[in-house]
Chain A
Amino acid sequence: MKFFRRLDLFCRVVDNYGDIGICWRLARQLVREHGLEVTLYVDDLASFRRICPPVAPEVERQQLDGVTVRHWRNQDGVYTPDEVADIVIEFFAVDIPPGYIDAMAQCESRPVWFNLEGLTAEEWVEGCHRLSSMQPRGLTKHFFFPGFTEKTGGLLREAALEQQRLQFAPSPFLAQLGLSPAEMAAAKVSLFCYPHAPVSALFEAWQNGGRPIACLVPEGVAADAVRAFTGGEGGAGSVATRGALTVRVLPFVPQPDYDKLLWACDLNFVRGEDSFVRAQWAGKPFIWHIYPQDENLHHKKLRAFLERYAGALPGLADFSLRWNGAAAHGETENWPELWAGLEREAAAATERAAAWQQQMLGNGDLATNMLSFAATLR
């Protein structure tokens, strides 16, 4: 990118792996595909390490995959204008250290400053995307919204991702994870959700259902339900079969392997924003467990997405709403029935997933869209 050389990205880890998952993905893409020198400021290196094992949690500054990673300990840092990058991104409206903002204001050539916002399918985003936000001392920030339409920033996606997916062979990967031939032959479901998801009820429906299901769940996810099903500690490698259901606990995998898991499964349960987006690029049916917000604002976001995505898939929409506790008032949850509704739509849901993926490709990718917009601000 000829206009810019350096980019600083500020990330606070709130949703355990989602925030850093997105920022890490974005940082690497900006280095690899756009040739930028990227510094990722992150406050929680221990969480970062779960998705990127080479991270050394005790180190202040380290180089990983071409990205400079700095431990963002507090707001007290002192910075000089020389340290300020050409593009500065505050991820999810985090407060950049005041000292850094002071340094930004002292720069002869002001940096392009973005607030990279959360993903939502709500329409209002189009009216706020790329709008400026005047700040003190002559600085201007711009809000940049990822999204599902051409009037937003699009979704995060690496250039080679689709090619990698098309070349992927699921069997060796699944065998490497320890799946037995019976599990390989079963319907494969990956499960990633927040602790409040009604996992036990769904396990019971699957267990008593007629179709063999292999549920692959990363270690630590839905821990109580998994322990109750498998017995023991429910650590990586735990596996148990009851009725039609086999639950297998996987080690917590790095991002590239998580992509492969999504590609290899017939249905993916995902959570937050990062895995939600990756599930869309996997081109497979998925159920989204959305990050909970006060006053159930997340239900509004969920419905906005389902309206765009699941218009012709009422079973998927219904299941998704119930999975997120957004059932209509007074309605009870009948998980065998909800699962049956989802299964009936399996073929249509698979077609929809592929069509949606093509539609999203048409919006370009977030990193490229953001840099293109940044260039117009210089």
Chain B
Amino acid sequence: MKPAKEIRVGNIIMVDGKPFIVLRSDVNGSSRTGFTYKWKMKNLLTNSPLENVFRGDDKFDVVVLDKKPVTYSYFADPLYVFMDAEYEQYEIEEENLGDALNYLKDGMECEAVFYDGKAISVELPTTIQRQIVYSEPAVKGNTSGNVLKEARIENAIESKQFIVQVPLFVSQDDMIEIDTRTNEYKKIVRN
């Protein structure tokens, strides 16, 4: 058991028998009894987000989950199928994929996360490259990056194509780099 004050973002903790990943932690000074920990968490079984607040001395079991490199293989409605190097297939429900769905692409490499022997989610690389499939024409001369427009990026399922905010100088068909933690545009990738 670890006290809340020792839990870090990215740790997976058990709360009332359910596994949660800590996505964000805001620590604030409070009464003389210590700090208040406000966490944004995600239930790994249901993918539902949650905001909770804890005392620094509240104790949690920290879970070390198994991970395995996999590639996205195909969509077998309503499950997404991933395959490892030994051609073992893992089916993951859509609601457990969360933001990973935005970037899903045939053959995409990621890590499947296992809880209790079952693949429950996938972890993406921190940055990922994707091609823009639609955006309004680029505007020359805009390089400041502080004015943004919408751009749709390629992914596995057209109906789920994800929209990223990009600078005005970015064009359709450009390859861009995105931070998957924040879904923010990072830069154009020039080959």
- A and B interact: yes
Task: Enumerate chain A interface residues (CB-CB to B < 8 A).
Answer: 14-15, 92-94, 115, 117-118, 120, 122, 124-125, 127-128, 131-138, 143, 291, 293, 297, 300-301
B38 near A127 (CB under 8 angstroms)? yes
Chain A to chain B contacts (Cβ below 8 Å), 26 pairs: A14-B32, A15-B32, A92-B31, A93-B34, A93-B55, A117-B30, A117-B31, A118-B30, A120-B30, A122-B29, A124-B36, A127-B26, A128-B28, A128-B36, A128-B38, A131-B51, A131-B52, A131-B53, A132-B52, A133-B55, A134-B50, A135-B16, A135-B58, A293-B29, A297-B29, A301-B29
New contact pairs (9) apart from A15-B32, A93-B34, A293-B32, CB-CB < 8 Å: A93-B55, A117-B30, A118-B31, A124-B36, A131-B38, A132-B52, A133-B58, A138-B16, A143-B53
Residues of the A chain whose Cβ atoms lie less than 8 Å from the Cβ of B52: 131-134
Residues of the B chain whose Cβ atoms lie less than 8 Å from the Cβ of A134: 15-16, 50, 52
Residues of the A chain whose Cβ atoms lie less than 8 Å from the Cβ of B38: 124, 127-128, 131
Q: Taking CB as reference atom, which chain A residue is nearest B51? A: A131
Does chain A have a CB within 8 A of B33?
A: yes
Closest beta carbon of chain B to A59's beta carbon, Å? 28
Interface size class of B (residues with CB under 8 A): 10 to 19
Closest beta carbon of chain B to A21's beta carbon, Å? 15
Does chain A have a CB within 8 A of B74?
A: no
Residues of the A chain whose Cβ atoms lie less than 8 Å from the Cβ of B16: 134-138
Residues of the A chain whose Cβ atoms lie less than 8 Å from the Cβ of B53: 128, 131-133, 143
Q: Taking CB as reference atom, which chain B residue is nearest A273? A: B31
Closest beta carbon of chain A to B80's beta carbon, Å? 29
Q: Which of B16, B33, B50 has the most CB of A within 10 A?
A: B33
B28 near A124 (CB under 8 angstroms)? yes
- State the CA gap A92–B33 with chains docked (Å): 7
Residues of the A chain whose Cβ atoms lie less than 8 Å from the Cβ of B36: 117, 124, 128, 143
Residues of the B chain whose Cβ atoms lie less than 8 Å from the Cβ of A120: 30
Residues of the B chain whose Cβ atoms lie less than 8 Å from the Cβ of A137: 16
Closest beta carbon of chain B to A272's beta carbon, Å? 10
